[in-house]
């Protein structure tokens, strides 16, 4: 048989890339001989073993690879008897087990929207869809977390763009948030502060963006300050109880996009359901919580001193982000160095391909669709590794999906947008440098 056209697989945490062609290769003896004849080794820094497969441009695409996994791994082990056998891991779409987060400001709207079974929880506040600690549900990596897979596969999963900044750490967190009650007024640090003052937590800074899925009439966010202030005045407003007079209330409606860079004071108020994409972090500094008490009966902890260190005391230069059309039914909602968020409205199957620079993460927000062979119902997500290559999205009727990835702003967005005729000024309204 002729092995299917392919990209790569991984052995001993090292990428094995195909080039050339195998005709009439059969499982077992032929696979072993091919590996012995066509695999070369090269010792690199720290005596690590780098294995490059010269056997086939075709060898072992992820979706065709599993039946051959043990035989080829054994062949690689035989080719290098001084190495310890480790299974080869294929590149394939990753389904994740979401994390349901219950908090005192949550409600039932998110559960009803997703059709969760009765009885519905009264305080479902967040669903963490794509996060380093989410367990993988399918394939050879099942049982491992997304973060463990990222450390094992490196660029094969993450792509090359995020690694210089975050090494093999999965860099993003995507979630749904249901604000049945108003959240605390809070702020998040940037990378520099997180990597020094909060280094023990392992978290990065937290820049985030919101896509409003539903907003009740009159719904608002707290977004920055209404006028310039200072550390001293802000601390006095908190101490004397007039902080709400200093903050800016922003009316929102369904479909709005809000970019929240680190250091921006903010709060999601009641009556809002949204999708959030952010840096992988859970560093939140509460500055005011309406004197609410936690499950233990005590006032919830505030983090005023750290908040005062990181708050931006000037009003935001821009409030809502205008989407920018990339092609029919494909809109860029917002982008920054840490993430890009796109909205795709599909009425028929469409072909896509991952790029070697970044993974793709897809979430269905209307209808249902099959993504790279995996059916996603409303509210479900999937992560497609950077080296997966070509794939298809097939909507069931019509569907709307959100796509997140780690962008090269110039190559992925600014350059193409210039080519489409957009001005620097218009691009800067949607593509943020920080």
> Which residue among 109, 151, 182, 286 is the active-site one?
286
Is the separation of the CB atoms in 332 and 413 below 8 Å?
yes
Nearest to 35 by CA among 76, 7, 2, 65: 76
Instruction: Centre a 10 Å sphere on the Cβ of residue 46 and count the other Cβ atoms it contains.
Output: 5
Quote the tokens at residue 325.
């059309």
Rounded to 5°, angle at Cα 2 from 30 and 152: 75
Which residues lie across from 257 on neighbouring strands? 211
Cα Rg of the chain (Å, integer): 24
Nearest to 313 by CA among 257, 242, 252, 246: 246
Residue 385: Cβ-neighbour burial (10 angstroms; 0-12, 13-18, 19+): buried
Query: Is 74 among the residues known to form the active site?
Result: no
Rounded to 5°, angle at Cα 258 from 254 and 261: 160
245 secondary structure, DSSP code? G
Beta pairing, strands 124-130 & 360-366: unpaired
CB within 8 A of 131, min separation 6: which ones? 96, 99, 146, 170, 173, 174, 175, 280
Cis peptide before 79 (omega within 30 of 0): no
The Cα-based distances of 361 to 75, 101, 157, 206 in angstroms read: 34, 21, 11, 19
Helix (H) or strand (E) segment spanning residue 376: strand 374-376
Which residues lie across from 340 on neighbouring strands? 335, 405
DSSP 140-171: TTTTSBHHHHHHHHTHHHH-SSSHHHHTTS--
Q: Which residues are catalytic?
A: 286
């Amino acid at each position: 048989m002729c092995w299917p056209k392919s990209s790569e697989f991984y052995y001993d945490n090292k990428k094995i890339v195909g080039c050339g062609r195998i005709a009439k290769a059969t499982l077992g003896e032929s696979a072993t001989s091919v590996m012995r004849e066509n695999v070369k080794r090269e010792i690199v820094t720290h005596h690590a073993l780098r294995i490059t497969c010269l056997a086939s441009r075709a060898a072992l695409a992820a979706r065709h690879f599993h039946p051959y996994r043990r035989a080829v791994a054994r062949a690689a082990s035989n080719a290098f008897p001084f190495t310890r056998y480790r299974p080869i891991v294929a590149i394939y779409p990753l389904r994740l087990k979401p994390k349901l987060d219950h908090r005192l400001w949550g409600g039932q709207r998110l559960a009803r929207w997703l059709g969760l079974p009765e009885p519905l929880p009264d305080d479902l506040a967040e669903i963490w869809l794509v996060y380093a600690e989410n367990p993988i549900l399918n394939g050879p990596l099942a049982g491992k977390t997304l973060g463990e897979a990222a450390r094992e596969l490196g660029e094969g999963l993450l792509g090359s763009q995020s690694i210089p900044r975050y090494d093999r750490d999965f860099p993003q967190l995507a979630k749904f948030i249901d604000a049945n009650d108003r959240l605390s007024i809070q702020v998040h640090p940037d990378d520099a502060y997180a990597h020094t003052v909060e280094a023990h937590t392992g978290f990065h800074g937290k820049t985030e963006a919101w896509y409003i899925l539903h907003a009740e009439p009159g719904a608002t966010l707290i977004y920055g300050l209404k006028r310039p202030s200072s550390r001293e005045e802000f601390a006095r407003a908190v101490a004397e109880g007039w902080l709400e007079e200093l903050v800016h209330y922003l009316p929102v409606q369904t479909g709005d996009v809000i970019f929240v860079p680190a250091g921006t004071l903010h709060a999601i108020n009641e009556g809002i359901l949204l999708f959030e994409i952010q840096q992988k972090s859970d560093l939140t500094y509460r500055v005011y919580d309406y004197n609410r008490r936690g499950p233990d009966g005590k006032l919830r902890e505030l983090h005023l001193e750290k908040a005062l260190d990181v708050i931006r005391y000037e009003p935001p230069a821009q409030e809502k982000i205008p989407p920018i059309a990339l092609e029919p039914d494909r809109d860029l909602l917002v982008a920054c160095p840490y993430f890009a968020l796109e909205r795709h409205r599909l009425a028929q199957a469409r072909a896509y391909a991952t790029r070697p620079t970044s993974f793709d993460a897809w979430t269905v927000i209307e209808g249902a669709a099959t993504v790279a062979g995996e059916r996603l119902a409303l509210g479900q997500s999937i992560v497609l590794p950077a080296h997966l290559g070509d794939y298809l999205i097939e909507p069931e009727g019509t569907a709307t999906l959100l796509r997140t990835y780690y962008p090269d702003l110039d190559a992925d967005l600014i350059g193409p947008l210039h080519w489409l005729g957009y001005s620097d000024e218009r691009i800067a309204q949607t593509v943020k440098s920080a």
